[in-house]
Amino acid sequence: MKELLVLSGKGGTGKTSLTASFVSLADQCIACDYDVDASNLPILLKPDKTQGQEFSAGLVAVLNKDICIECGLCRDLCRFDAISSEYQISELSCEGCAFCAEVCPVEAIEMQDRSSGRWFESNSHVNGKLVPIFYAELRPGEENSGLLVAQVKSAARKKAQQEGYSLLISDGSPGIGCPVISSLVEASLVLIVTEPSVSGFHDLKRVQELLELRGVKSILLINKADLNLPASQAMEKWAQDNGIPVAGRIPYSKELAAVVSGGQVPVSQPELHELILPVWQKIRKELEKVN
């Protein structure tokens, strides 16, 4: 089983629109959305409604005011400023470390499981085929996004193993932090979708640095390439110098933006299909090469 993971560093470069397109073009695959903060792949792939499963990770401190003697020890020791002067515990600030509960002289603090979000297993009907899709929603303000990503990934991989799917196509999060690092586990190839801007280039280099650190191979796609042709060329040169294959360029397209805005997968339109298909063929070739 292979996994193509789509990353970008900078947000808004077109990860989700392209991921949905590749899911549509692939023969058979499972789709995953690891952007558990703001999951957008289901907007395009329109999975059947499912209940979802509770995701609980970590703990939250709950203080019993009837027992509390207001000695202030917990407040002094909490590194996350989660306990107010009135001994209210802020669920948003609490890291779940249990320092307060362990030191409380009267055992007024109890650690409880916190519900962090939900994850979903469903089916999408894309381009005449059925595609299992896995995604999640972390509740606003929650942490443990990395663990939720791991949960989504492991559920998807299990399904792939059981039902003989050989390809996972996954939409990643922006940035290079916790959820991105978690999504790299067992990824076969990372497609970096960038745009030819100073920010796009800066962020792309940081993603690549992370991939090298983690030993994951990458391939580059320059989206909205004609917005700045010299920058696109500079990016391709940089990729070449660093031994990164280039899947191609996709020009800026008002039509693509409009199609996605209407909730459609870009390759459902013939002109966009023509633009994106060669890129997908190149990525598929590169996928065949990796282990």
CB-nearer residue toward another protein: 80 or 87: 80
Where does this chain touch another protein (CB under 8 A) — which range of 124-132, 159-167, 222-230, 275-283? 222-230
For the CB of residue 139, give the shortest distance to another protein in the complex, in Å. 8
x/- mask, another protein, residues 127-166, rule CB under 8 A, reads -----------x-xxxx-xx--------------------
Where does this chain touch another protein (CB under 8 A) — which range of 157-165, 200-208, 270-278, 279-287? 200-208
Q: Per CB under 8 A, does 73 bind another protein?
A: no
* Contact with another protein (CB under 8 A) among 1, 37, 127, 290: 37
* Contact with another protein (CB under 8 A) among 62, 185, 246, 257: 257
Residues 11-30 that bind another protein (CB under 8 A): 11-13, 16
Q: Per CB under 8 A, does 97 bind another protein?
A: yes
Amino acid (1-letter code) at residue 217: K
* Contact with another protein (CB under 8 A) among 105, 164, 262, 270: 262
The DSSP line for the chain is -EEEEEE-SSTTSSHHHHHHHHHHHSSS-EEEE---SS--HHHHH-PPP---EEEEEEEEEEE-TTT-----HHHHH-TT--B-TT-PBPTTT-----HHHHH-TT--EEEEEEEEEEEEEEEEEETTEEEEEEEEEEPTT---HHHHHHHHHHHHHHHHHHHT--EEEEE--SSSSHHHHHHTTT-SEEEEEE-SSHHHHHHHHHHHHHHHHHT--EEEEEETGGG-HHHHHHHHHHHHHTT--EEEEE---HHHHHHHHTT--GGGSHHHHHHHHHHHHHHHHHHHH--
* Contact with another protein (CB under 8 A) among 54, 70, 163, 209: 209
Q: Per CB under 8 A, does 188 bind another protein?
A: no
Amino acid (1-letter code) at residue 138: L
* Contact with another protein (CB under 8 A) among 96, 132, 248, 266: 96
CA separation for the pair 119, 272 (Å, rounded): 31
* Contact with another protein (CB under 8 A) among 1, 178, 185, 290: 178
145, 136, 166: which is closest to 32 by C-alpha? 136
For the CB of residue 75, give the shortest distance to another protein in the complex, in Å. 14
Residues contributing to the site for another protein (CB under 8 A): 8-13, 16, 36-38, 40, 43, 58-59, 77, 79-80, 92, 95-99, 102-103, 111, 138, 140-143, 145-146, 173-178, 180-181, 195-200, 202-203, 206, 209-210, 213-214, 224, 227-228, 231, 252, 257, 260-263
